[in-house]
Structure 1
Amino acid sequence: MWPERPDPERWATVAEALEDRYLTRPVFLDTAEVTALEADLNGTVDLLFSLPERLFDGDAHAFAAAVGLRPEQARLALRVPGQRPARIGRADLYHDGTGFRLLEFNLSSALGGLQTPELNRLLLEDEGLAAFAASEGLAFPDTVGELAAVIREAAEEALAETGRPEHAPRVALMDWHAGYAKTGPEIRATARLLEPHGIEAIPCHTGQVREQGGRVTVDGRPVDVVYRYFTLGELTADASSLATAEELLDTFARCGVPVLSPLRTSMHGNKRALSMLWDDRCVETYDTAERELVRRFLPWTRELRPGPAVIRGERHDLLDHCLRHRAELVLKPSHGLGGVGTVVGRSVSDEAWAAALAQAVGGRYVVQELVRPGPEFFPGQEGGDPEPWTLNWGAFLFGRRYAGAFLRGLPTDRADVISYDNKAYAGCVFDARSGEEAGRV
């Protein structure tokens, strides 16, 4: 499927940002599937953003504490008053053969996989696939183009408020200084991809920021928007980091430079927030459509704590239920990436499961219903008959638009946790709706 002589610049961008392991074919979605997925993602974000009002009488600090933020993290996330969480994120999903199920929602701008459409473009260099895509009206959202639109809107709003002359938006793609050595390659790749969309993007870290003449500058260049890769955990690692972070956020606010996404967005994107959508008190507030969305799209998820919980309409002791239903459940840290710390009940013994629960109870963990994804068959990496693989779909949402997806996959017999840390392979998606919208492949 891969072209024999791919465009070298495009290939370099993909190989630098992804892990240089690729599925042997793309995957396809029809128009109805994309439309339904976009609606479900938006409905879920609406619910997550409504949690402070539904459960905490609008008290954002109480919500922050409930999702596990330490007091200093909450103060930092809420330091700039009036900021709203941003609709920027990537949902991790399985497809169970009947529809998508949401595993978690990374509501943050610190997202990997933005370069995946370059895989689509590389694959279209294969004449056979290009002809098939044209005959079926298949295309793909330009993920980076959708991101550029969000950045441009934020820059225009900021420039309008400060009265500065209009010019091409200049965005700092910024990570914490200590983390930039690892994330730099992906950030630089994203900067290159933003340029054709009229965005001047500067890959950088927080140590390069200065305030000059009322403007935020990076290496002497004024910036209009900061696109955030740094996280609350990095900013509050120690007293020195916290003080630096406070000064940095104050500088951005003083100079009128918006941060995408605001730090407060992350409060809505951890797994403990997701578990609140199954909280008894929250369920009581749902209308019929909201109740149906949660039941169909979101696997049952609860914070792991001693005491009773409503499970499938009946009240049970939560720990006792988890012990008795090991093969149907997954234990996950409420914060964290890459599947680190995840325990899949069916893959461990009763004794190991009980020990994991005992260690996690009352801590920052959630327990979630196991989703059994249907296999996708791919040609073998070395040829031969198609083999069953399991896919983790990463679907982007920018604003209210589905902005494409990237795939991580592993052979089904070793796919308990699908992540790059577990040597997953990358892939891409074509869909019919993008072909209709774009009028082209």
Structure 2
Amino acid sequence: MTIATLPSISEADAQIERRVCELATSDPGSIWWGQDEFSDAIAEAGIHLEGRAYPVCLRPLAIPSGLAKHLGATAEALVKLLDVAAELYCCDEDIQDLFPAYRHLRQWITRLPEYRPIVRICRLDGLFGSDGYYKILETNATTPGGVIQNGLAAKIWSRIPNPLTRGLSLDVSKQPFAKDPNCFVQELVSAYRAVTGTELRTAAVVNYRGRYANEVDWIVRGLRHAGARAALVDVRSIKRTPRGLVGPDGEVLELIYSKLDARDFIEAREHDDYLDACAAQDVVSINPWISQWVLADKAILAVLSDDRYSSNFTAEQIELIARHVPWTRVVRPGATTDPERHRIELIGYIRQNKANLVLKPSNASRDEHVLVGRFTSSDVWEEHIDRAARNPYVVQEYIRPGEVTALHAPSRSIEKMAYGIDCYVFGGRLAGFQSRASFDPVMNVGRSGVLLPVAID
């Protein structure tokens, strides 16, 4: 399940790295010709990032098949841990207190579905640590991006003549969502069948005020191709009736995929019927509310990594957590343990160890307001410690990312960039990988980042 030493990724990737550097000097035109052809093919296929060009790079990240298996096993095991964490949240008031923003939402959160895993669709974002182990930094248990388009982009990439990979034996199709980009929709359909024992007839992708519409067209088309009547529906047009949850045309919805930011509903009351219907399982809702709020919150890693809760996990699970979940704590005054399990006063520890820590809002998305201590001035760090102690924040040990030389198409530059690798898990099984690279220490594709196709050698 785990790896013993820090991987150089692979010899194939080392060759790709050398070729990028050599061609950037001797023949940059050949690289940009390939990148432009790839970008054009991506655009022609209708792949985009919320209406903008999909920022995917010609340079892949190549990983050996053994590492791919290790990453998959680790990701699948972590998703099982989220089931344990969900059940702990429902019965342990101390754990509930780590998530104060959702206190008034417990009536919906704690009504767990019967199926497992609870998180049917997720993306685990991570980096390789200096100790040689893959570290999972965030859980993305809501509605992660890239569930269809990354697989499609990988298939297109495999068909483009590429001077960076010439002569190398690389395969993207070993990833299920690259071999069959419909596997995401197939998971939705099979989840419905497992819950109800019947075939899916009606479905909706639900969003709110048109936000987070990326990939929605692909999902709707996929559901229709699977034989369901499907549409994109705004949550404001859905009603709960004695017949069930109905869409704007009055048709009963059997399955919904929530493509929205559940934080929009934290204070709103006009959607209570919708929340009730999903919690009562009037409709099969993927992912359920505990995933949308608690299991997607960065504080869930504090539940996993804090010794106070270790008695709830098996010895094997404790080992998994120790190797793959970085030290994380909810920011608030009081005593806890540091990464070496020494007793500390947390706020003082954060002040004294800026270079080794990261501050993150616990329930923000897209890396909003994340501060990496070693890249932050002391004045700004102090200001955010005070803010973090008054708001839902977590502090996490800093994991230094590796670097690759990548093409940054928006700036037409070829430079060293920090990179990570993320694991998609559908229905408890690995679906594929995503690699992000960025100039920014906080990797965000929407800001200064790019995506690297992941190929297995």
TM-score range, shorter chain: 0.7 to 0.9
Partner-residue secondary structure (3-state), 1:151 = helix
Q: Matched residues in 1 for 2:411 and 2:385: separation?
A: 42
* Structure 2 residue 311 is the aligned partner of structure 1 residue 281: no
Out of 170, 186, 189, the position equivalent to 2:202 is 170
Q: Matched residues in 2 for 1:41 and 1:255: separation?
A: 27
Q: Matched residues in 2 for 1:339 and 1:30: separation?
A: 29
Report if the CA contact (8 A) 2:145-2:214 is conserved. Answer: no
Structure 2 equivalent of residue 46 of structure 1: 80
Report if the CA contact (8 A) 1:61-1:74 is conserved. Answer: no
Structure possessing the higher relative contact order (Cα contacts under 8 Å, 6 or more residues apart): 1
Partner-residue secondary structure (3-state), 1:147 = helix
Q: Indicate how the Cα distance of structure 1 residues 133 and 100 shifts in structure 2: closer, same or farther if over 3 A, else same.
A: farther
Q: Matched residues in 2 for 1:217 and 1:289: separation?
A: 44
Out of 132, 156, 159, the position equivalent to 2:193 is 156
Deviation at 1:226, TM superposition (A): 0.7
Q: Matched residues in 2 for 1:291 and 1:80: separation?
A: 24
Question: Which runs of structure 2 are paired with 1:373-392 in the superposition (5 Å)?
Answer: 373-379=401-407, 381=409, 387-392=415-420
* Structure 2 residue 33 is the aligned partner of structure 1 residue 33: no
* Structure 2 residue 367 is the aligned partner of structure 1 residue 339: yes
* Structure 2 residue 224 is the aligned partner of structure 1 residue 190: no
TM-score (norm 1): 0.82
Question: Partner amino acid for 2:134?
Answer: F
Q: Indicate how the Cα distance of structure 1 residues 429 and 192 shifts in structure 2: closer, same or farther if over 3 A, else same.
A: farther
Q: CA deviation digits over 1:117-168, x for unaligned, max 9?
A: 12112212314589969944542321653322321123224553xxxxx655
Structure 1 equivalent of residue 265 of structure 2: 235
Question: Partner amino acid for 1:88?
Answer: I
Q: Matched residues in 2 for 1:382 and 1:274: separation?
A: 34
Question: Which runs of structure 2 are paired with 1:181-330 in the superposition (5 Å)?
Answer: 181-198=210-227, 200-210=229-239, 214-220=243-249, 221-238=251-268, 242=269, 244-251=270-277, 256-265=282-291, 266-311=293-338, 312-330=340-358
Report if the CA contact (8 A) 1:408-1:425 is conserved. Answer: yes
Q: Matched residues in 2 for 1:205 and 1:382: separation?
A: 33
Structure 1 equivalent of residue 13 of structure 2: none
Partner-residue secondary structure (3-state), 1:92 = strand
Partner-residue secondary structure (3-state), 2:343 = strand
Question: Partner amino acid for 2:416?
Answer: P
Structure 2 equivalent of residue 22 of structure 1: 56
* Structure 2 residue 120 is the aligned partner of structure 1 residue 87: yes
Structure 2 unaligned residues grouped into runs of 5+: 1-33
Deviation at 1:88, TM superposition (A): 2.1
Question: Which runs of structure 2 are paired with 1:415-430 in the superposition (5 Å)?
Answer: 415-430=440-455
Partner-residue secondary structure (3-state), 2:233 = strand
Q: CA deviation digits over 1:267-315, x for unaligned, max 9?
A: 1221111112221212355444323322221211111122222220211
Q: Matched residues in 2 for 1:201 and 1:373: separation?
A: 41
Q: Matched residues in 2 for 1:324 and 1:425: separation?
A: 34
Q: CA deviation digits over 1:326-345, x for unaligned, max 9?
A: 11110111110111121111
TM-score (norm 2): 0.79
Structure 2 equivalent of residue 436 of structure 1: none
Question: Partner amino acid for 1:141?
Answer: P
Deviation at 1:379, TM superposition (A): 4.7
Report if the CA contact (8 A) 2:98-2:330 is conserved. Answer: no
Q: Matched residues in 1 for 2:281 and 2:49: separation?
A: 37
Out of 386, 389, 396, the position equivalent to 1:368 is 396
Deviates more, 1:144-153 or 1:259-268: 144-153
Question: Partner amino acid for 1:89?
Answer: C
Partner-residue secondary structure (3-state), 1:90 = strand
Q: Matched residues in 2 for 1:382 and 1:48: separation?
A: 37
Report if the CA contact (8 A) 1:21-1:425 is conserved. Answer: yes
Structure 2 equivalent of residue 438 of structure 1: none
Q: Indicate how the Cα distance of structure 1 residues 236 and 330 shifts in structure 2: closer, same or farther if over 3 A, else same.
A: closer
Partner-residue secondary structure (3-state), 2:267 = coil
